[in-house]
Structures are given as C-alpha cells and as structure tokens.
Amino acid sequence: MKKCPTLLHTLPSLLALCLLLSTMACSAPSSESSATTDIELEEITIADIQAAYEAGTYTIEELTQAYLDRIEAIDQNGPALHSIIITNPDALEIARALDEELAAGNSRGPLHGIPVILKDNIDTQDKMPTTAGSRALANSHPLQDSYLTKQLREAGALILGKANLSEWANFRGQMSSSGWSGVGGQTKNPYVITRNPCGSSAGSGASVSANLTVLAVGTETNGSIVCPSHANGIVGIKPTVGLISRSGVIPISFTQDTPGPMARTVRDAAIGLAGMIGIDPADSKTLDSENKTYDDYTQFLKADGLAGKRIGVYTQPLGNHYKVDSLFAQAVAFMESQGAEIIELEQLVDGTAGRHSFQIMLYEYKDGLNKYFASLGPDAPIKSVEELIAFNQADSIELKHYDQRYLEMAQEKGPLEEEAYQEALSEMMRLSREEGIDKVMEENQLQAIIAPTGSPAWQTDWVNGDHFQLGSSSPAARAGYPNITVPMGFVDELPVGISFFGQAWTEPLLIEIAYGFEQGTKHRRAPRFLTED
C-alpha cells in the first residue's frame, strides 16, 4: 500500500489524477488542514484541549471551527469517509456561549468545551434530526434530548454532530453491510478506505479514529461498540447495562442495549463515561446502578494495572485467524511480564444462549420501536413497525442492498407477556450470568476475561454483506456485562483490538487493567487513509 499527499481543498485536476492512479492511495489532509486556525488536531486528547483553553492558546469556538473544517475536508471531501451524517448548525454559537462561561471563571469540568459526536440513534432536541440512518426518519425531530445527551450538555460537552451507522443499528435485515445507511451512505474505514469500519457504531468509530472529534458515543446490543472500536483502532467501553440510560435512544433490546464512549485513549473514554452516567426514572435498568457509579473514572487509571491480576482467556475466538492469534499471544506474554496470571478457560457460556438472545431481541425490538415512535408525538413520520416495513418496501433506496427480514420477524412477534419471551429471557440470563460469566470468574477467582475483539477489517461488499471471521462480544453482551476494547496491534495496515470483560459493575477494575495494557504497549497510531493496491 502507498499513499500520496493531497491539499486541504483538493483541486479537481489533482482529484482526477488520484482517481487515474488506481494503484496508488491518496491520504487525507493532515490535521493542520484547518483554513482558519493552526490547531493541531491529530491525536489530541481531552487533557491537551483543556490545557490549551486554560493557557488561552485557542478558544472553544476556534477548536470547533477547526473540527468543522477537518470534517469538511476529510469526511465530505478527500477520502470522503461518510462517518458523519450531519454537523450541528448551532455548534459555533454553542461554543461561544461555553467560551463566555470559561471567561467568567466557570468551568463545568473535564468535558467543558469538548466536541462530541453522537451516533444518530441518540435523540437530540435541536436542528439535527435523529434518523437511525433510515430515510423513514430523515426529518424526524424528537420532542426532547435523550437522557445521556442532557447529561453531556450539562457537563459542558459540545454536541458537534451525528454519526453515520449501520441502519437501525444493524438489525434490519440479512446480508447487510456494516456502516451503510439509507441516509448516510457507506462509512469507510480510515486505515484502508476500501475496508469496512464494522458496526453498528461505524461512524462513531471512524470519526474518532480519523481525528474528526476527540470523543464519540456509540451504542451496543452485541458488538456494536467494541467491533467498530477494534476495526478503527480506538478504545471503546461497552458498560454494564443500566450504567447509562437508554431513554431517547432508538432501541433494539431492552435487555442488552447500552450506549458507551469511544475515544483514542482509555483516559478519554473514562472521562466520557463519567459524563453520561446517571439514574433515569424513564429507564428502570438504571435503578440498579445506584451506589455503583463514580463521578471520576480516571482515578482507576494505573500504569501497573496488570500487576497481580488473575485473567482468564476466552479461547473460542482463537484458531480462526493465525495472524490475530499471533498478536493475541504477544499480548498475553506482555501481561504475564507485567505480573498478571493467565488462566485458560475451557468453556465460558452454553451455546444455546445465542438462540434465546435472538428471540429476545425480536420481541423487544417490536415493543421498543413502537414505543419510540409513540414518543415522537402525533407528527411522527412513522408510527409503527408495520408502517416502517411498508415505507421500506415503497422506497427506492432502502432495500437496494439488503432486505428487512429482521423487522418482518419482529413484527410477527406478540407482546412481552408471551410465555415464549419470558422463558427465553430467563434462560439467557441464567446461562450467560449464573451459569456463565459469574460462575467461571468466581470458580477461577478472575478479575477479567480477555479475547481478541475481532479480525482485521474486511473489504466492504454490498453484494455478499459482512465477512466476520471471529468475535468475542457475545458473552458480555448477552449478560449485560461490561466490555472494554483496546488496540492490540496491526495486521498489515489494519488495526486489531483486545477485549477485557467481566462481571456487572466492574468498570473500575476493567479500566485499570485495560489502561495498564494500553500504557505498556501503545499500539494506537493514526490512520493514513490508504486504498488497496
């Protein structure tokens, strides 16, 4: 793979030249591409930004403009990542107001003036619609902010825009392409732009990796935070279900859904996590988080976080990709060198848990979507799953690449009171928790379980859909337990992640362990926007 430099506002002749040179690859503009500032955005951290604000190096408004310029140059033009569906029309006005607060000596904390991109299934009550990537909701404006959006705004975060995603969080139909939506098109992987960013939080992962934002929020039902974080070479935290409210988040599964932070470092992800937590009466799952949360998760960042830890190896994902296995073996050896004790696990969760999970998702999808559509009020563009199916059938774009079989299957389900749903829920919880992760960890006295997060990014394929080779997200996802992925290394030019997961509410311990690994290895490197030879 090769790369050739381009200018911020690439001239048509240069674009034509790059297109003709099909064996070459064009890198996007550097982070010095802002037309209005000299702010260095490449790999910047929240701490860097706060230090610059305090020193008067630049203002929140200037930083916001720099990010908007970079989004235009890289996401809309240049390699055209299509990671962001829309930028906030009021971003600069909000930035000026936050600057005035700082000038008056009022800082709301570490997220004050920090740009954040939200996955576009998270409600915002502003000039940006919330679409789930669907043309059916292209002009849908929720009646209020989601709870997590309110939390971020109160913490001083600046909602910079909405990220593209696998439409309906990748639970619409068969043979889908992760990162594709009817509204936003196909998100590209910033490392090799012909490769897939994984999903469903594809745009959140790609935008953070490409330095279009310092922090993004994704959502996960099973793999949708950790897989795009892994494929885009960043850190993703999928928290315990209930740590962050889901009210105002377009749902799939009440049992498994959770939002979570995506960032380039464990520290920044930990800061983002603290800015979203809270007990929300509108989401009963959050009631379980009482006395289990922290205002500051950075207190658990310890460079020697691996020392003395007993860590189990989830072996099922191994043996599917020898290059990933090699990186994982190196990661395990490093952990042992830092004083961790590694225990190989023969079995983690009974395989039938997956069958129960799928049935639960179908039942809860129909129930949750219909409730969400009702929350949009009498002017909702779509009022039921049945209407959504009809819309897609009549639309010229929505079913162009893949079907809507999962929506149709969900529509066939009855209410949540049905015995089939209740039995599936009970069995999945028993198999994934009491007889699964909890049992294994307690019997082996483990602090965490590790596994490769996934395989290197595949080539995006609208004909055959996604090409997953391996993954490790299911045990934690079905249990509703926390999972953190951190860069583990590279296969050629493509990043690969390692996952750390464990029992409910153990985010502090997992952050400590993940940080110890990150600081001792530092595998993260910025993407170069390559194309295939």
Q: Catalytic positions, please?
A: 119, 200, 224
Pair of tokens at residue 441? 């960890």
What is the C-alpha separation between 348 and 315, in angstroms, rounded? 9
Both tokens assigned to 430:
């028993």
Q: Nearest to residue 23, comparing CAs of 46, 3, 44, 50?
A: 3
CA distances from 249 to 206, 304, 363, 380, 416 (A): 20, 37, 17, 16, 20
CA distances from 314 to 84, 330, 354, 457, 499 (A): 34, 16, 16, 21, 10
Q: What are phi and psi of 164, to 5 degrees?
A: -65, 160
Query: Can you give 318-379 as a three-state secondary structure string?
Result: CCCCHHHHHHHHHHHHHHHHCCCEEEEECCCCCCCHHHHHHHHHHHHHHHHHHHHHHHCCCC
Cα separation, 170 vs 333, in Å, equals: 35
**If residue 116 lies in a helix (H) or strand (E), which one and from where to where?**
strand 115-119
CB 510 within 8 A of CB 290: no
Nearest-angstrom CA–CA distance, 526 and 204? 16
DSSP assignment of 384-442: SHHHHHHHHHH-SSTTSSS--HHHHHHHT---TTSHHHHHHHHHHHIIIIIIIIHHHHH
Residue 119: partners with Cβ closer than 8 Å, 6 or more residues away: 162, 163, 165, 200, 201, 203, 204, 216, 217, 218, 219, 259
Instruction: State the chain's maximal CA–CA distance in angstroms.
Output: 65
- List the beta bridge partners of residue 490: 495
DSSP letters, 2-20, are --B---TT--HHHHHHHHH
User: Which structure tokens are listed for 146?
Assistant: 């989601």
Q: What is the DSSP letter of 465?
A: -
